[in-house]
C-alpha cells in the first residue's frame, strides 16, 4: 500500500521564485519542454554512468529514452524518462528547495525588477538564472511527478499547484525513472501559451530546442489508417516517432552547424536562457584526440566571485557523459566558460583526483586555454562592442589569471583593459597607454583604490593631472594583488603613484628621484623646512614612518604615501577582512611646500616650537591627508573636536 500524503511548504526562496514563474512575463513559454527534456537527458546520462561503474546496480538500461505522452482530453502532457530517478529525500531537497548559489541575490533583484515593473529586466533575470523544473508552472496549473530511483524499491509521488505547498507520497510501485505530468493551463495564443498536447507542436519544439539530445525523444503519433475502406471508420494507426536527430553537436563539423544550433546547445549545457557571447569549437586529432565546444556566456553568473560556485565544462569520454563541472580542464580564472569536451582515450572510470594528474588532460588544458584566449584576443581586435561586454562581465576573473597563469601572462596583459584618466568612459589597453606616453615618460602610472571618483580626487594624482600624465585607475580588488607581481608591460615598468618618491620635474617623474640634480632653490627650501619636518616626524611618530616634502601635490596640503615596497591601505584592509594578522603599517606623510597651511605651520614652528597648538595642527593635517584619499581616521571624534575648536576660534 502506498504511504500517506504529506503536505510540505516550499522553502521561502523557492516560493518566491515559483510565484514569479507562475505569473511569468517570460514570453517564450515553449522553453519549459527544453528544460524538462534536459533534466530527463541528464538523468539518462547519470544512469548509464552509474550502471557502468556499479555492476551491482539493479537497473534496466536496455532502452534509455525520453517519452512525451499526451492526452488532449484530459489536457495533460507527460515527460517521462527511464533514467536514474530520485529518492524521496532527493525529491524533497531537489524539487522542494532551490539550493542554488545566488538564489537569494536573484530573488532580491527580481523583487526590485517587479517593484519597478521592469518586465524586460525580470525576463532577463529569469532567463539568466534558469529555473529548470519550475518553468513547468509557466504552462501548467498543476504538476505531478512520479519517480523511482534506479535500484530502489519504492517510488515517490510529488504534486503541486505551484503555490505555497507541495504534497509528497511514497508509492509501493513506480516505473524506474521520472515522469512529470503537466496539467496544462488553457490555451492562450495571445499569451503565447500553445496547445502542448498537439504532437505537431511538440515535434517543432523538440527539433528547435532539443535536437542534439543524445537520447531518443519519442512520441506516439496517430495517423488515419491508410487501408480503411471509403466511409469506413477504422481505428487510426499509432506509430512511435523519434523527434530528435540525436547527433552530438561537438562531433559534427563546425561548418555544418548553424548559429541557432550552437545557441540551443549552449542553453542545454549552461542552463542559461540567454545567448552565449562567443563560441569556440575545436578538435585535436592524432595521438590524443578530443572534440570541444566551449562557450563564453554573455553575462557573469551571480556566484562568479563566490568560492565553490560551479564551473561548467562537462567531460564526455567517447560520447559517454562522465562528469559535469570538470575543473581539471580549465584554470579557475576561466570558471565562467561553459561547454563540453569529449576525449577519446580516457578511461570511463576516471576519477576527479586522477584527472588532475593526467598528462593528457594537462595537455588538453593547455590547448583549450590558448583557444579561449585567442578567441578573446580576436574579439578585442574585431568586435569592440562584444569585447567590452566580455571585459565588463569577466575582466576581474581574467585578471586573476595574471596571478596564476604564468604561461599566458603576456597574452592576458595584452587583452586586458583598464580605466584611465585618458577617457572617463572608455577603458584602455596597455599598448594604447604606451603609445600615448609623453616624451621622456618611462613608466606606466597607476593608482589603486575603491572607486574611480575617489582615485580621481585623490591628492596623489594632482601633479600627474596637472602635467598631463595619464594614470590608470584600478578599482577591482584583484588589481591590488596583480600589480604587486607584474612589474612591467612589454619592457615598460609599471609604477604606483601612491608609492615611493615622485619628481615630475625630472625627465620621468617617478621612482626614487635619483639622477636629477637639485637646484639651489630646492636646496634652500629643503633647508628651511628641515626643522619642521624633523619636529613633525616626532610629533606624528606613532602614525607615520617619516615626513617629507612632496612634488606630487598641487592643491592639497598633504598626502600619505607608501614606501616603494609597502602594501597599499586597500590591500591591508582586504587582508584584515580575511582575518589575516598584520603588523601596523606606517606610511609616509608628504607635505606640499607651496600650500599656505604648510608654510604657515613652518612659520609658526619657527616662531615658537613649543606652542601646544602646533601638535593639534599636525594631527589635523595628517587626518586631512587620510580623508583626502578616502582613508579612515583612527579616532574620528577627536579629529572633529579639534576641527570644531579651530573653526570656532576663527569665527
Binding site for ligand ATP (CB under 6 A): 35, 39-40, 43, 81, 83-86, 94-95, 130-134, 178, 271
CB of residue 91 vs ligand ATP: minimum separation in angstroms? Answer: 8
What letter does residue 499 receive in the DSSP assignment? B
Nearest approach in angstroms of CB 158 to ligand ATP is: 11
CB of 36 to ligand ATP, least distance (A): 7
**Residue with smaller CB distance to ligand ATP, 45 or 342:** 45
> Closer to ligand ATP at the Cβ: 311 or 537?
311
Q: Which of residues 65 and 499 has its CB atom nearest to ligand ATP in the complex?
A: 65
Which three cell numbers, joined as nine digits, stand for 387? Answer: 569585447
Residue 178 or 408: the one with the smaller Cβ distance to ligand ATP is 178
Least distance from ligand ATP to the Cβ atom of residue 7, Å:
20
Q: 43 or 588, CB closer to ligand ATP?
A: 43
For residues 103 and 112, what is the distance between their CA atoms, to the nearest angstrom? 14
Q: Looking at beta carbons only, is 86 or 502 nearer to ligand ATP?
A: 86
Least distance to ligand ATP, CB of residue 201, Å: 21
Handedness of CA 160, 161, 162, 165 (dihedral sign): negative
Q: CB 131 → ligand ATP: shortest distance, Å?
A: 6
Q: Which is nearer to ligand ATP, 134 or 196 (CB)?
A: 134
176-212 burial, b at 16+ Cβ within 10 Å, e below that, comes to bbbbbbbbbbeeeeeeebbbbbebeebbebbeebbbb
CB of 75: closest distance to ligand ATP in angstroms?
A: 22
Quick one: which of 73, 86, 76, 93 has its CA closest to 39? 86
Neighbours of 634 (CB within 10 A): 12
Closest CB 565 distance from ligand ATP, rounded Å? 46
Residue 39 vs 417, nearer CB to ligand ATP:
39
338's grid cell: 561553459
List residues bridging with 635 in a β-sheet. Answer: none
What span, in angstroms and rounded, lies between the C-alpha atoms of 74 and 144? Answer: 14
How buried is 506 (Cβ within 10 angstroms: 0-12 exposed, 13-18 middle, 19+ buried)? middle
Length in residues, the chain: 651
Distances (CA, A) of 132 to 33, 138, 164, 249, 330: 10, 11, 18, 22, 26
Closest contact distance (angstroms) between CB of 81 and ligand ATP is 5
The least CB distance from residue 80 to ligand ATP, in Å, is: 9
Q: How far apart are CA 334 and CA 348, in angstroms?
A: 25
Closest CA to 306 of 397, 395, 399: 397
- Alpha carbons 641 and 464: distance in angstroms, whole number: 34
- Nearer to ligand ATP by Cβ, of 99 and 348: the residue is 99
By DSSP bridging, strand 217-223 and strand 66-71 are parallel
* Three state DSSP letters for 140-186: EEEEEEEEECCCCCCEEEEEECCCCEEEEEEECCCCCEEEEEEEECC
| Residue least distant from ligand ATP (Cβ) | 132
Question: In terms of CB distance, is 145 or 343 closer to ligand ATP?
Answer: 145
For the CB of residue 238, give the shortest distance to ligand ATP in the complex, in Å.
25
CB of 124 to ligand ATP, least distance (A): 15
Nearer to ligand ATP, 131 or 322 (CB): 131
With respect to ligand ATP, which residue has the nearer C-beta, 132 or 477?
132
Query: Distance between CA 335 and CA 312 in Å, rounded?
Result: 7
Least distance between ligand ATP and beta carbon 349 (Å) = 22
Pick the closer one to ligand ATP by CB: 146 or 413: 146
Q: How many whole angstroms separate alpha carbon 330 and alpha carbon 556?
A: 48
User: Rounded CA gap, 140 and 579, in Å?
Assistant: 50
Q: Which residues pair with 241 in a beta bridge?
A: 219
Measured in whole angstroms, the distance separating CA 344 from the mean position of its chain's CA atoms is: 31
The alpha carbon of residue 269 and the mean position of all alpha carbons in its chain are separated, in whole angstroms, by 17
Amino acid at each position: 500500500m502506498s504511504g500517506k500524503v504529506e503536505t510540505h511548504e516550499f522553502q521561502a526562496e523557492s516560493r518566491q521564485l515559483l510565484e514569479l514563474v507562475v505569473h511569468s512575463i517570460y514570453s517564450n513559454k515553449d522553453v519549459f519542454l527544453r528544460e524538462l527534456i534536459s533534466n530527463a537527458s541528464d538523468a539518462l546520462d547519470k544512469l548509464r554512468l552509474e550502471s557502468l561503474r556499479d555492476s551491482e546496480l539493479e537497473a534496466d538500461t536496455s532502452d534509455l529514452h525520453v517519452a512525451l505522452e499526451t492526452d488532449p482530453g484530459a489536457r495533460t502532457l507527460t515527460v517521462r524518462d527511464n533514467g536514474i530517478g530520485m529518492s524521496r529525500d532527493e525529491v524533497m531537497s531537489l524539487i522542494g528547495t532551490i539550493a542554488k548559489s545566488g538564489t537569494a541575490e536573484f530573488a532580491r533583484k527580481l523583487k526590485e525588477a517587479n517593484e519597478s515593473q521592469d518586465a524586460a529586466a525580470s525576463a532577463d533575470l529569469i532567463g539568466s538564472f534558469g529555473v529548470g523544473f519550475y518553468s513547468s508552472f509557466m504552462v501548467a496549473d498543476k504538476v505531478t511527478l512520479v519517480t523511482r530511483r534506479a535500484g530502489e524499491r519504492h517510488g515517490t509521488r510529488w504534486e503541486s499547484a505551484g503555490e505555497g505547498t507541495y504534497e509528497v507520497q511514497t508509492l509501493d510501485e513506480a516505473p524506474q525513472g521520472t515522469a512529470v505530468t503537466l496539467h496544462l493551463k488553457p490555451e492562450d495564443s495571445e499569451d503565447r501559451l500553445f496547445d502542448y498536447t498537439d504532437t505537431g507542436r511538440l515535434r517543432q519544439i523538440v527539433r528547435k530546442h532539443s535536437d542534439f539530445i543524445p537520447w531518443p525523444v519519442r512520441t506516439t503519433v496517430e495517423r488515419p489508417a491508410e487501408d480503411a475502406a471509403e466511409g469506413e471508420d477504422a481505428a487510426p494507426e499509432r506509430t512511435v516517432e523519434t523527434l530528435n536527430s540525436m547527433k552530438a553537436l561537438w562531433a559534427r563539423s563546425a561548418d555544418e552547424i548553424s548559429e541557432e544550433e550552437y545557441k540551443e546547445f549552449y542553453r542545454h549545457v549552461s542552463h542559461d536562457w540567454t545567448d552565449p557571447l562567443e563560441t569556440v569549437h575545436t578538435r585535436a586529432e592524432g595521438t590524443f584526440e578530443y572534440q570541444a565546444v566551449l562557450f563564453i556566456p554573455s553575462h557573469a553568473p551571480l556566484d562568479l566571485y563566490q568560492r565553490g560556485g560551479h564551473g561548467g565544462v562537462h567531460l564526455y569520454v567517447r560520447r559517454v557523459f562522465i562528469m559535469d563541472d570538470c575543473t581539471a580542464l580549465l584554470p579557475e580564472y576561466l570558471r565562467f566558460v561553459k561547454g563540453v569536451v569529449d576525449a577519446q582515450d580516457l578511461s570511463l572510470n576516471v576519477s576527479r583526483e586522477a584527472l588532475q594528474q593526467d598528462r593528457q588532460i594537462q595537455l588538453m588544458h593547455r590547448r583549450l586555454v590558448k583557444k579561449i584566449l585567442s578567441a578573446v584576443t580576436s574579439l578585442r581586435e574585431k568586435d569592440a562592442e562584444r569585447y567590452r561586454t566580455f571585459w565588463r562581465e569577466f575582466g576581474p576573473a581574467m585578471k586573476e589569471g595574471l596571478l596564476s597563469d604564468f604561461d599566458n601572462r603576456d597574452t592576458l596583459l595584452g587583452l586586458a583593459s583598464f580605466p584611465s584618466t585618458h577617457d572617463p568612459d572608455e577603458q584602455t589597453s596597455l599598448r594604447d597607454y604606451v603609445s600615448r606616453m609623453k616624451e621622456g615618460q618611462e613608466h606606466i602610472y597607476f593608482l589603486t583604490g575603491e572607486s574611480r571618483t575617489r582615485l580621481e580626487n585623490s591628492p596623489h594624482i594632482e601633479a600627474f593631472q596637472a602635467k598631463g600624465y595619464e594614470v590608470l585607475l584600478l578599482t577591482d580588488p584583484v588589481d591590488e594583488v596583480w600589480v604587486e607581481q607584474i612589474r612591467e608591460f612589454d619592457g615598460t615598468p609599471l609604477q604606483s603613484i601612491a608609492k615611493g618618491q615622485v619628481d615630475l620635474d625630472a625627465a620621468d617623474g617617478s621612482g626614487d628621484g635619483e639622477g636629477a640634480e637639485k637646484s639651489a632653490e630646492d636646496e634652500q627650501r629643503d633647508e628651511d623646512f628641515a626643522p619642521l619636518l624633523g619636529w613633525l616626524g616626532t610629533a606624528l611618530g606613532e602614525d607615520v614612518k617619516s615626513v617629507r616634502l612632496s612634488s606630487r601635490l598641487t592643491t592639497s596640503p598633504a598626502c600619505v604615501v607608501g614606501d616603494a615596497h609597502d602594501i597599499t591601505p586597500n590591500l591591508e584592509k582586504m587582508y584584515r577582512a580575511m582575518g589575516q594578522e598584520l603588523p601596523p603599517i606606517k606610511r609616509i606623510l608628504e607635505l606640499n611646500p607651496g600650500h599656505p597651511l604648510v608654510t604657515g605651520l613652518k612659520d609658526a614652528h619657527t616662531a615658537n616650537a613649543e606652542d601646544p597648538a602646533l601638535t593639534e595642527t599636525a594631527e589635523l593635517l595628517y587626518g586631512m591627508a587620510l580623508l583626502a584619499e578616502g582613508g579612515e581616521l583612527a579616532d574620528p571624534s577627536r579629529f572633529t573636536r579639534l576641527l570644531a575648536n579651530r573653526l570656532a576660534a576663527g569665527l
